[in-house]
Amino acid sequence: MASRIVLECEGGQILISDISKQLAAGGKFNFTEKGRFKPKGFDESIKLYEVSWEE
């Protein structure tokens, strides 16, 4: 699943699944919903979120 999500990223972008977002809840991260995505080889679509970050 992770390799399929990575293929959807643009340069410098971090995308995560809804499950990863739930695991990171309570941390100092900001998320922007990017819509649904149906990875090749999987039956269901998932919600993708972009992680906002600064160096």
Strand partners, 29: none
For the entire predicted model, the pTM comes to: 0.83
End-to-end Cα spacing for the chain: 27
Full residue range of the structural domain in which residue 48 is found: 2-52
Nearest CA among 21, 6, 14, 20 for reference residue 52: 14
Residue 47 is predicted with a pLDDT of: 95
Query: What are φ and ψ of residue 16, in 5° steps?
Result: -135, 160
Could you give the number of structural domains in the chain? 1
Residue 29 is predicted with a pLDDT of: 87
pLDDT of 2-53, one tens digit each? 999 999 999 989 999 999 999 988 888 899 999 999 999 999 999 999 998 7
Q: Which tokens in the block code for residue 10?
A: 């643009």
Residue 55 is predicted with a pLDDT of: 57
